[in-house]
Structures are given as C-alpha cells and as structure tokens.
Structure 1
C-alpha cells in the first residue's frame, strides 16, 4: 500500500473491535471521542485504544466540525451506536461530496430500518436477540451469553470486513459507499446449528451445561483444574484414547468389543464419559494435556486469560502485544502492515490531528483481476476467484463470506475425504437427507461451485496444481505440511502464480512447538481462556456448545484475505484459530496484569410467561423486573422497557429467530434458495450490507461434483474424452 489506511474511529463499545482490528493492520487510526462518552477503566482503554491518536471535542458542535473536516482525508469512517445517537448520516447528507471516496460503516444494534431500528442494546441484550445466549448455561436455569462480550465483538469484526469490502470495491469504481451492520444479524449468523436445526429439522437445540450435542466432547475435571476434550472425529481418536486408558489400567470395561461400535458408544456416551472423567480426575491438567499432544489427541488445559502469556505456542509466534511495560492479548492474525512482535503506544491525546494532510494524489486502482466490463454495482469481489480446499465450518465460513460478495468460489471436495457436514448423519439435520442435501452443508456452502477431485491420486494433485494460475486466493485448513506433500506449499504456489493469496487455517498455526496439535473447537476455546471465563463461583467452566471459535477465526481469515486483495499483493495468511480466539478476550489479559477485578456486565436475564421463556434486560434494569416479568409476555415487556430507554429483548431460540422475530423478518435476513433436492430452503443471510455494490445469495449449495466438467473445461480446457477418462479412473470422484 502507498500509505496506511486512514480510519476515523467514531465507535462506542458496540464496535470498538472494528477500530482495534484496523490498528492490528497498521492503519492510521484517529479516534474522535463523543463528548458524552463514559470513561473506561485503564485495562479497557489500553486494550481498545492503544495505538491510536485521540481527540476529545468538548461539545457536539465541535465534534461535528472535526468530523466534517477530517472525513475528507479518511479512507474509512466507522460509527456505531443506537440509531437515534448517530451523527454521520446527517453530516454525510449535508456535504455528500466530502464522503465520495469514504468507506462509511455504520453499526447499530438492530439496523437502520425495520420496526425495531430504534431499540437499544448492549452485549447481553444482543446475545439474547441474536440467539447466542439461548445456547449457553444449564437446563432449567437462565440462558447465559458467551463471556467477554462476544456479540459486540462479532459486530465489530463484521464492520471491519465491510469496510475492506468497500475499499476493494472503491478500487474498481473510484467511489466509496455506505456499509450497514446490524449487530443482531452479526450474532444470528454465528450460531452454527442454532437456527438451521429448526429450518431443516424443526428441532430447537437447548442448553446442555456445555456438553456438545453432536460430538463427544466436553469439559472434564482434573486433579487441579479442568481440561476440554473427547473422542469424536476420525476412528483414531477413539482407538488412541482407548489405548492410553488400557496402558494406564484405567479402561474399565471400555476395551470390550461392544464399545468399539461407534453407534453403541454414542448411545452409551454417559457411561463412556464417566470412565473418561475418572481417568482425567487422577491427573493434573498440564500433565493430561501434554501427553494428549504427544499422542496427537484433541485435549487441552482450560487456561485462565492471565496465563496466556505463558503459553509456549503463543510466545513462539510472538502473539502478545506490548503496551509500555504491560502485555496484552494480540491481534487475530499477523498483518504485513504491523509486523510482529507488536509494540503499541498508549492512546495519544491530540487537539485536532492537523497532521492528517490532504491526499496528494487521487486513489489509484490496486486490484489485479476485475474485468473491465463489470457493472458499477457488481459485488465487491466480482472477478476474484477462490480455490476452496476447506471442510467442516471455519474454512467454509470464510469462503461463504467471499462468495456472498461476488467471488467465484471453486470448492474442491471428494467422496474419498468425507466432509462431515455432508456425510455425517448428525449434521444433515433433516430426516432422510443425503450427503447432497445435508442441512448443515447447504447453509455454509451456498454460492459455490463444486469440483470433485480425488487428492489421494497423483493426477488429482496435478489437476489441483494446474488450477492455481487461474485463481486469486487459495483457502485451506489441512494440518501443517499437507500442502507441501502435494508440492503446493506457499513458495511453490507462488512459482505457479506470483500474486496468489494463500490462507492457511491450522488450529494453532503453521509453526511453533505445538504446530502438530490436533484441535477441535472446544480445545481451542480452552487454550484461549474463553472456556475458563464461563466458570462461576458455583459452577465449573463449560464448553461453548456451538462453533463460536470457528466463526471468530473465519472472520479474522476473511479480514486478512481482504487486506491483501486491497493491497493488490500476494501473501501467505498463517491464521491460527487459537490466536483469533485469544484476541477476542477483550481486556481480560490486561485486567489480570493490572490487578483489576474482572469486568462484570450489567444486566439480568429473567423468566417470563411461558415455558422456558426469558427476557434479557441491560443496564438500568428496574429493581422489580423479575417480579414484573414472571407474568408478562417477553416481547410486550421488552417493548415497554425500550419505550422507557432501557435496553431489553426476549431471549431468542432458533425457531424464534426464523419464524417470530419481527426485525429479522422485516429486513429479510433469512433468504430462500431453491435446491434441486431439498427444494425451497431458508438460509442465514448476509451481515455486511454494501449500498453501492451489494452482495447476494445467488445459488444453493452444489451437489457433490456438480460443476466438475464445467470448471475443468472452463479453466483448464479439458475436452470430453479427457474428462471421461478421468471420471472412469476415479480421479474426479
């Protein structure tokens, strides 16, 4: 890039994360504080605003004047807050010429339109409104949001993604645009099976005390703490865990033949878990986790945030950030704009940032691949082609987002490497579904083309290499070293395509002492400090029973990809899902370093009329709210509280989101695509709403190999005879 991206930060806590992510990309971030902004604790101010300059106008008139002057030389303006408190829409309307080249991002709790556009929300209320809180906690007790304000951090991440999409589009069109983010939608798009279980199977997943419903993983007590782990995945996971139990003389009856049948084991999971729990309880957390890593089994110690700095994997990869003499959680990926190890200055107060000098030259196009004949309103990534080598959730979520905004995503898959989201019966969600209409697969793989390629065959690997010169981005989540075995390590890819972007999404990264660790979502959450934060004085930590970490990592990988596309350069994004999750702890690490008590979010979740119906009420909840709520309809009481200026919202489950929520319905969040087998199916919608170059849901998820011949003809020029031979010999299967 010719100069750092200039970001004008007008956020409140609804999108603090957006501006912090831009700091992590080496952007020049100037924060203009609202006169009425509440003061932050030292840990929060350092975490969210280190690396920025901050100007503090004394009143709204001065604030507006500063923004109106500074916007002319900004690339990105991010404002967040309730609709009634936004100031940039009026400023833009008063002087539209000043905003012509700006990626103008507005983040609100519920969106700029719809019947609840004016409703207020904090993290607790958003977690309830978007369906996350419903999935956390214990049966029969109040739903619990994930710890450390994950709802607002998701909104901030999507705001940063939306800003970079707008910048990429600006390189083609020469114009900026408005990008709108609804925090409720950002949460509702991040539930894994929370809503799609209802869409496909009319099932509402409930609270399970952190015990996973579709994989045999959970949190187990040890002699001195807790570990997360289990025995799902490939057959080896069970075989090797059983061998370990047998070696230690602690297998009890699990070595008997009946338990070797996966169906019997699943039905008898409570008994299996009891045996494993006794095994874990005889060992320390560190001892068990270290031996599991040695055996390549997915187990991890439940670590408090304050201990992250001692993690040898994070230290080796220089993840922590230094702020003066303090150490904080770092950024979710290593940006070429801010090389690790990262040192940030404390927020620097300035009067008016007069050194934001005017642009010396017009914006020039960096983008390499956009066809000249694209219409002005084509999606931001039209003309970008992506080779998708991922499976399960985190990787497909990245390519889903890219595809929604116009990228041509070529999904390489095979019946020889069975993606569980296609082939696992438990993830098909709909009774009678096959691998071609699995509900889980349909939701996360729409807008993509499927290329069936047997990568166990050298000819399949050869075809894969031949595709590389025809793509801009390659996304993979293999174990470290797999691509190198196929002669497709980054250096080899670059020899084939000098400007290619390779996005690798290993659990803990491509290098470091734990690089070979086998990880699941629960083990990464345990390593990151997130699982520890779910514990309470009266209850042990619980797992997060949906793939929050997968989506957090996916958003980070998407952002890293867009950064390189905007820069017009190739590169290798070495995304560690562990680092992405640890970067979402908010000020937790600094709280420990400064000796501050853990931040407690204001608000309460109370039962309302009806079975298992709940209301989340934010700061300022009336003292009698629990008594009032008991006999009230949750929606009616929420509306009454909102009219009084108190943030409140019913706790939504998956059915509520899809069938009952008036705001999501009015904004058309759930969109119908017609699948050739499943027929009309609702899908979770887009989160980043770009006014000038909108994304869209254009096609249902493909059948396995549906576009194989089309793609190999289009990209490689293979003729029908060559294709027939490859099919016959099993290369294209």
Structure 2
C-alpha cells in the first residue's frame, strides 16, 4: 500500500563550497533548510554566489564559537539531515556527536572533506582546482604540452556535493528500514576520481594514459568547430546513419569535397583519416551560422548544437517549455538562475525561491519532524546489508549515463536486472575503441566492466513482440525502472509510465532522454558534447585568448547520472512511485553554478587557482586560492623568490607536501596512471577495488564514493557476460520452465 507523502525534510546546512550543491539539491526537493554560519565566513562571496547557493534557505550568522556549537546541537536534535563540509581540522559536528550521541541517534549525518577522514592526506586542504587535479579531471583538459585545465564552474566541488546528497538519501532509505540514522562520509577526491570516464580505466585496462587534446575526443569523432558567427559542437560518430546523413547534407550543398568517394564510406578508413575528414567538416561548418547548423541538426536528427553562453539559457525554447529556470525574488528584483537538475514532486515547476532570509536567534524549524517509520523490503531480493537492500531495479540503459545510475544502485545493495541484447549493441560492450584492453571481446570490454559491476544480465530481444511481453511481465517484480531510450520508445512497447503504473502502482520510472520527454527539441539527437554545448558548459571552457574547447570525457553523463540517482532515491523515500523525467541538458545546466546570475547582475567570475609546471616531463602542480601575502610567505619560507621558480625546480608531490605543511592548498596533477599506481591517499583508502572477472581475471574498478557507516555498500560481483543470467532470472521472477525457455531461445527472443 502506498504510504502518505512524508513531511518536508529538515536539513541543517553547515557546508562550505564542498557541500553547497548538496544543500541546494535539498532546497529543490522542498526541504526546510536552515543554514548556520560563523559570522564573517561568507564575506568573500559575490551576490550571485550567495543567491545561487542559498536562495530558499533561512540563515543565521553567529560570531561566538561556543554559541554556534550550542545552536548546532539544538537544531541537530530536530533535524533529519545534517550536512557539514570542509577540511577535517575545521569540522564541528564530529565532536558534538561524540559529546552527546543520543541527540544524533536518528539523524543522517553527512560529512564531506577534501580527501576523506582517513589516510595520510586526510588533513590536506583543497579548493575546486586542487580537487580537480587530485582526482584526475584537470589532466584531461587543455592543450598538449600546456598546463592542464580543470573544468569550469567548480565541477569538482559540485560532484562532491552531488554525492553528499546521494549519501544522505541512501541513509534516509536505510533509516526507513532500520529506524536509525547514521554517519555518511564523502571524499571529494574520490567523487572526482569516480567521474573520469576513460581516465583511470584506460590505464587499468589498456596501460595507456589519455593526454590533453585541445578538446578533440579520442574515441568518438566529435569536437567544437568554428561557425560563421560563433562555435558549434558535433561530429559523425555513433550509428552509420550519423555519417550517412551528414554526408548527404554536405553533398546537397556541394561541399562534400572528396568525402563522397567510396573509401570514406568505410568506418575504419574514415577513423584513420579523421584529420582530413575534420578539415572538410570544419570548412562546411565555417560557412554557416550557428543557428542554421543547430536547426538543421535537429531537423535531420544529427548530433549538432550551438555552443551557447550561460547568459542565453533563459532564451532557450526547450528549457523555457519545461520551466527549467528558477526565479529568485531578491531586493534587486526578480532574477533568473539555472534551475534544479530534476523536478521534485514536493516542489513542482516553475520554481520560485526567496533570497536567503535571516533566521532570528532562537527560532527553530518551520514545523515538527515526521516520526521515523520503517518499511519492509521487497521479498525475494538479496540481503547484502546495503542501504538499498530489498530494492530491485530493471535496467534498460546503455552507453554511460544510464549504466552509471544503476551501478550506484548496485554498489549500495540493490538487485539490478540488466536487459540487453546482441540486437541492440551497447557501444561500451561492442565498440572496439571502448574495450580498452588489447584483444578484449564484448564480454570483457573495459568500459562495460567498470560501469556494470554488480548486475545480472538478461538477454532479451526487444524487437520481438514476445520480448516486449516478457519485459512487461517483469514490471510488477521491480521497484525502479531506468531507461535512456529516445522519447516515445517505451510507449511503442505499451510501457509508458501510465501503463507501467497499471502494472505496478508504486514503480519509479527514471527516463534519461537528452533534453527530456517533451518540448520543441524533444526529438533532438544528443551526445555528451552537444549537451555540454547547449548547457553553457562548453562556452565556459573558452577564454579571452582561446575559443571554447569542450571536455574530452563524459562529465555530463555522470552529472546527469548523479541527478537521476538522487531523484530516484527521493521518490523511493517518499514511497509513492512516480516518473522522473530527467533531462541530461537540464542536469548539466544546473551544474553551471552562479554563471547565469553573474550575467544578469553584471558580475565577474572569481579568479581561478594556479597550475604550475614542475620538474619532470609534463608534470604539474595545482595551487589553490589563498591570500597573496600567505602564499608569498610560504614561498619565502621554502627559500624561493617566486612560486614559478620553486615549482620548476621541484617534484610535484614533494612540493605539494611542503606547501600543505605551510597551510597552502596544493596537489600534484594526477593522470590515470598516477591515480591507480601512485596516489597514496586513494591507495590507503582502497578506492580502486579488484573484482575477479571470468574472462579478464582480477581487474581494478573505480570504487564507492558514499561511505555509510551502518549500511556500507560494496563492489560484490564483476560485470556479467552477455545474457549470463537469462534463464535463472526468467525462472526466478516469472516462473518459466525449461520447455518455455527452450522455445524462447529457438524463436530468437533471448538473444
């Protein structure tokens, strides 16, 4: 039976930049968020930052340390979730929890630190750029031979915040089952290292280190191209149709040059000759406006998009149709900010928030906390002790963003039934460039292994009517369905949300279309790079001296995946089912921080931290933002006249340690090899976890990010072989007998 909708959560926000995104996500789910600050700590914030991160909250600033601790303890006693972030030495709540554990018995207590609370570097300091370096993201951005470039707009810190919110929702679901709260820890370095796509797994599986490529993808033929009046993102990878239809367009206009010749129709020849193909495509793009290319791309179902600035998001017709932007009522007037990555049933769109309001001394929560209730997990599901024990997920996803969602569910104890087929070839299984390991087959592809551990594989040919019938028959036996088909595909199989709900009233459907299930761009074909271009993120990679490059790894896939996980967990916690219509475009735009507000208020971006060349070939050090006089004093204490001179003569790791000892945030820029083989912090915390695959043997996998004290997750089983569990799943869930299974095999349904 469906439970009543829960009362709004009560969330105590004690975050700095590391956890700010988590608190904003809770505002977006209708929570009562109270923020406590030590007076003076927010003085360096711009107005755009203050409004973006703290709109919709009540805020109290307290100067006296003892009074602040007392106020934290008072509000924590009535909170559902307490979020705190910052360096380990500055955390306040661990001591308060230890002093009076009874107050925290049913509180979900989330701590986000730069490097975790254990390990040799647990006390090190970091800002976004340092974390981007420490986790491997910075290495992948920029030009060959030049300094690595972190992604713009605090992506490392926002990843940490997203995982903090996920950890909180996981612990809330565990509380639903056990009645008890618990401690959740997140290392920002690990949050980044888990979000690299090819960075570390290229080393694990292929002993290769992807370098900086000026924004040119290494495994798909996509990049940023100059247009007549701006820039566009696009390419010609994917299905053969992508090339065929782009070529047809160029032939129509007489601009195909030699690309219509037979040799270029062979995919391998085209890939080996990519520089020439790109030159011809670049000349084609340069003769057209960005509007023409983007519009024709949508009309022809080709993955092309304008590289749009954040200031124009409010004009985007797709985002406008879906009421994505948030309105903030502020003294400056009604302002427009990037919205939340998903729509919560507790705060339906359009969302309108008030500027941060003062919380008077002594004032408390807006309403009483709902009693903690328990519910029984679905019978027949495995018992692993994770937060999602008893949850079963029907996984209809492929490629990267969708499998990343179900990977997170699997890591925390959910049972994943992964439906796949040799008739719908997942590129992460079947594309040779994504197998990474020399000689690997579709059953031991590096990409597939990393993002599909902990799942069981059901081979089901959904091009057959019987395959679709079996898929419908599975729905009553699951709690969550995750899919990233094009809009309308499920409806053609009689599995639109309304039909799913008829089969299972409490089911949560998570749809992950590129731009959402409705709107004028609903049918747009999107890749990670085109979504980044639409969202404003690609534009932010440019500068006054260089055009935008884009990102050469699927950051947007993982940003969208984290949003989908949080949205699904919220629905499970509410206990009422529902349809999460996640737009990957919206999830990426929501990660732009205060960019849109800065444009509206006429403010400028904060200065970014420094990446310095160090001794050795292509070795670099990220140095975090700190007061100039403190940095100068540290450099003098180390016997140098300038930071550049000091870095050039030093080993990056050695210098990072010396600077950290003087209170300066710094870290060596890690590549995939360094993360897996060198980094002492990740090694001490066991981040890379081995699983024994039946073909690949013992293989390291990127590990968990959310560490729950009472209901810890784990990597339990390697990724499945194609169809490995087909018969056992159909027998276990649907009761099919051997004769029925044999007939299905003969009819080609179980391919």
TM-superposed CA distance for 1:60, in Å, is 1.1
CA distance in 1, matches of 2:381, 2:67: 44
Aligned CA-pair RMSD: 1.3
Matches within 5 A, 1:620-639: 620=626, 621-622=631-632, 624-639=642-657
Contact 2:610–2:622 (8 Å) recurs in 1: yes
Match status 1:561 vs 2:568? yes
2:296 to 286, 291, 296: 291
CA distance in 2, matches of 1:357, 1:539: 49
1:329 to 326, 338, 347: 338
CA distance in 1, matches of 2:32, 2:129: 31
Q: What is residue 440 of structure 2 aligned with on the other side?
A: 433
TM-superposed CA distance for 1:731, in Å, is 0.5
Q: What is residue 624 of structure 2 aligned with on the other side?
A: 618
Match status 1:148 vs 2:153? yes
CA distance in 1, matches of 2:14, 2:731: 49
Contact 2:7–2:370 (8 Å) recurs in 1: no
TM-superposed CA distance for 1:352, in Å, is 3.3
- Measured against aligned partners, the alpha-carbon deviations of 1:1-40 in whole angstroms (never above 9, x if no partner) come to 3310110000001111000000011111000012341321
Match status 1:657 vs 2:661? no
Q: What is residue 361 of structure 2 aligned with on the other side?
A: 352
2:552 to 524, 545, 552: 545
Matches within 5 A, 1:692-707: 692-707=710-725
TM-superposed CA distance for 1:373, in Å, is 11
TM-superposed CA distance for 1:718, in Å, is 0.3
Match status 1:37 vs 2:45? no
Match status 1:364 vs 2:373? yes
Q: What is the TM-score normalised by the length of structure 2?
A: 0.96
Contact 1:459–1:731 (8 Å) recurs in 2: yes
CA distance in 2, matches of 1:590, 1:361: 35
CA distance in 1, matches of 2:27, 2:233: 33
- Measured against aligned partners, the alpha-carbon deviations of 1:638-657 in whole angstroms (never above 9, x if no partner) come to 00000000000000000000
Contact 1:35–1:60 (8 Å) recurs in 2: no
- Measured against aligned partners, the alpha-carbon deviations of 1:536-579 in whole angstroms (never above 9, x if no partner) come to 11111002000000000000000000000111111000000000
Deviates more, 1:627-636 or 1:344-353: 344-353
1:15 to 14, 19, 24: 19
Contact 1:405–1:696 (8 Å) recurs in 2: yes
Matched position secondary structure for 1:195: helix
Q: What is residue 638 of structure 2 aligned with on the other side?
A: none
Which runs of no fewer than 5 residues in structure 1 stay unpaired?
Answer: none
Q: What is residue 124 of structure 2 aligned with on the other side?
A: 119
TM-superposed CA distance for 1:176, in Å, is 0.3
Contact 2:75–2:364 (8 Å) recurs in 1: no
Matched position secondary structure for 2:393: strand
Q: What is the TM-score normalised by the length of structure 1?
A: 0.98
Which runs of no fewer than 5 residues in structure 2 stay unpaired?
Answer: 636-641
Q: What is residue 338 of structure 1 aligned with on the other side?
A: 347
- Measured against aligned partners, the alpha-carbon deviations of 1:373-432 in whole angstroms (never above 9, x if no partner) come to 997x81110100000000000000000000100000000000000000000000000000
CA distance in 1, matches of 2:379, 2:158: 35
Q: What is residue 660 of structure 2 aligned with on the other side?
A: 642
2:174 to 169, 191, 202: 169
Contact 1:142–1:607 (8 Å) recurs in 2: yes
CA distance in 2, matches of 1:597, 1:80: 26
Q: What is residue 613 of structure 2 aligned with on the other side?
A: 607
Matched position secondary structure for 1:335: coil
Contact 1:384–1:407 (8 Å) recurs in 2: yes
TM-superposed CA distance for 1:599, in Å, is 2.8
Q: What is residue 313 of structure 2 aligned with on the other side?
A: 308
Q: What is residue 727 of structure 2 aligned with on the other side?
A: 709
Matched position secondary structure for 1:144: coil
TM-superposed CA distance for 1:353, in Å, is 5.6
1:415 to 400, 422, 440: 422
TM-superposed CA distance for 1:587, in Å, is 0.3
Q: What is residue 4 of structure 1 aligned with on the other side?
A: 8
- Measured against aligned partners, the alpha-carbon deviations of 1:224-280 in whole angstroms (never above 9, x if no partner) come to 100000000000000000000000010011100010000110011011100110010
Q: 1:321 to 1:353 in 2, by over 3 A?
A: farther
CA distance in 2, matches of 1:250, 1:372: 61
Q: What is residue 391 of structure 1 aligned with on the other side?
A: 398
Q: 1:254 to 1:561 in 2, by over 3 A?
A: same
The total of aligned residue pairs comes to 730
1:503 to 510, 513, 517: 510
CA distance in 2, matches of 1:697, 1:440: 16
